[in-house]
Structure 1
Amino acid sequence: MHVELLGRLGEGGMGTVYLGRGRPGVTGYAGRLVAVKVIRPDLARVPEFRARFRREADIARRVARFCTAEVLDVVDPPDGLPYLVTEYIDGLTLAQSVAAEGPLRSADLERLAVSVAAALTSIHGAGLVHRDLKPSNVLLSSLGPRVIDFGIARALDAQTMLSQEIQRVGTPAFMAPEQANGEAVSAAADVFAWGGLVTYAGTGSFPFGDGPTPVQLYRVVHREPLLDGLDPALRPIVEEAMRKDPAARPTAQDLFLRLVGMGPSTHPDPDVTRVIRSAAPMLAPFQRVGAEGAGSPPGAEPSGWVRPRPDDPARPETSPDRAPNRVPDRLPDRAGGEAAQGWHG
């Protein structure tokens, strides 16, 4: 291994994250503190997953470094577990900060909303969907918020059988309705999660309340989010981001432009918006589509900013003998609370 492991930082959907230090002689990060994500053995045994892991990790290197943890190395040894090396960011997660100090103040909340929208603009522009944006995946570093953990991100053009198996990967409190229903997930799901994240940061409460996973999933699909107490300037934007229909939500770039042009009032300054819009493509590399969906022929000139559309990723086919996983219209009595009418698991 190119890294000396110093301790365990946590565990995610696809593996365990360790604190490490680059070994002498390693190009680029020798002697530097890094975060190392080692893929779970059961996933590493799936050839399709390993191929997708390498492809997504390479794409992740195109994401702007100012708003995420920079990918430093991708290692896939033939006789061991693949792992990803990223920069180590020292700071509390948003979840830890809210638990210790309560909701963010207005200025800090706006800073978080803008920074995460900028990060998603760059992530989506690189052809990725995060799929698990939540308070524990946002680090409040000394240089500003950073979005981390692309561990369950999926290339927008990925088409593997494994994608069906992990379709409903994510955190229930911040899932989009289509994700809760086990349907195809696009960049619009990250925008929905952004709205839930801002709600949590500004109020200290989950957007669909507390409760067991089935109840939260039911509310995600059938109820409107709880936005009481959210900053009035941000509330209309969050409401749009959390629309049930993914096609009706703004893109991450739209969020960014609206937030940056908002200023101290709820009405964007047209001059500021025009300047920001002209510079927005610099937030992320152009999405170039080639043979593998992530590249273009050498010397090809990008024709302009390409924004991923909700209909870009191919919808996985449903096996005729297996109905898609969906949140039911009713939940059973044992679920408790307002939605106690029909969970059939």
Structure 2
Amino acid sequence: MSEADSEVIAGETAWQGPERAPSRGILLAIAGLAWMAAMLWSARATITGRGDAAMEVTSTAYAMPGAVSASLVAGAAVALAVVTSLTRGGRTVRFAAATGTGLVLGLLGGLTIITINTDGWIYAVVGGTIAAAATIGGALAGFRYPRITAAVCWGAIGVFLVGVVLSFLQHDLLPVFGARDTSSSRADAANYFGFAQGALGGLAAGLIVYRVLRRARHRTGVDLRWPLYALAGAGPGLLLVVGEALTRTAGARVLELAGKVSELELTVQQMLSGSRLNNGLIVLFVGAFTAMVAVGRTLGSPTAPAETAPEQPADPDEIERAARDEEAKPVGSRTDD
């Protein structure tokens, strides 16, 4: 085996090593469960607090996207904690355990919505969508690089916290974006506010992902390649996009029913759906760019080649002595040029 082949094998071993024994992520699992529980409790309280049937339908449509996104992250976080606690089993066993954990968590989460009214199909649709989201999140934890999954989950929680803080400050911030007494100015300000929220969320996601992966590097001694930093930075936005896709597909009947309440409600649902998708895409690209720039600043510049020492000028006495020695040699033994 050549020296180059040995270096390649050693590099691959160091590359895969830390992925086999990441941290258990108990704190991440608790944070993910807390987020999911909070969103499900809020959704249930909002839905059951409406006495009118039409308002109950629209409240369900409003609450579903947040519960789906939280279920995605919670499924991945809890499944990651379960998988990393396994000491035996190959990749297939770990993937099955992760997917099963997400499914169980999703079924438990879906029951909290279905039990609102077991005779209403709308709650069964929402519960099934939540179960599907948690199952997909659990499957993500069974992939090859659990440290990336953990970083993505932390980044997604950071995006959620940024959204919570900005929602409390929205009334005070809208005038900064040009909101006046006219409806058009308020609509434009809301659009600008949405873009700013996505950008800040993406910035927070990229920085959080970078810090989580750097801490894993200090703990294991082996770093990831820089494209994976960009992929992890894009992960929280990708989860938002996947959550919106689930809301539009698995929960499409709920949105359609809410849109039939009135023309105004249909317009609102379309605007909210487009806003959620745009927010997810902004978080995706800004998060990837932020993580890539953050890790790029830490990459060392190529080592400059060592400067060769300048040649010393030859001593004239040495040249003259060598010429005399050459002339003193017999003719046959002289070196031909």
* TM-score (structure 1 length as normaliser): 0.26
Higher relative CO (Cα under 8 Å, sequence separation at least 6) belongs to 2
Higher strand share: 1
> Which of these two proteins has the greater Rg computed from alpha carbons?
2
